[in-house]
Chains A and B, each alone.
Chain A
């Protein structure tokens, strides 16, 4: 159980356009979802915490107007990268929070590879 589906797996877009990434919890209700970004050879960097029905909490240095997060239901959170630039090219990973005794509280999507040309 605890499956998270992330779509698309990869996307190439032109500079200045917007890209939407979807994250769905398929078999559990994720009140809280996390959005991470990972640059090559670096660890996961938390971008924001998304709570269903409320505004996302962004980490320091992450522009909330550029990275729009919507968590309208208990099974869907979306991240929209607005006016994308080449420096936004990265691996974006979402995860749903579901506490399981003795196991990981985070259930990751498969990630989205974004390339901005």
Chain B
């Protein structure tokens, strides 16, 4: 049974760095094809992909946010961490971590999502 759960500070001040942790279970991020990613959703708005990291260490980032994002994995702890620097009120959103579907032709479709964590950026 695959589960993912995000944790984070809830509230950050402008210009601060956000660190989000995704704790997962039910799969190994060392196994071929496996990936974990981050997606966010501002209140009342659409989904926005941020980054992913695959089993082989391949990392991809949203170009518009690339200079601010870092994604890392710690397979010994079953964790994926996303850091985002220089936070701004427009970054207020629910942040989801997600598991890549492994199936023919699925690309980077997402079959499991965490419950999401709301991050508010305000002074």
Q: Do A and B come from one complex?
A: no
Which residues on A are within 8 Å of B, measured CB to CB? none
The interface of chain B, by Cβ under 8 A from chain A, is none
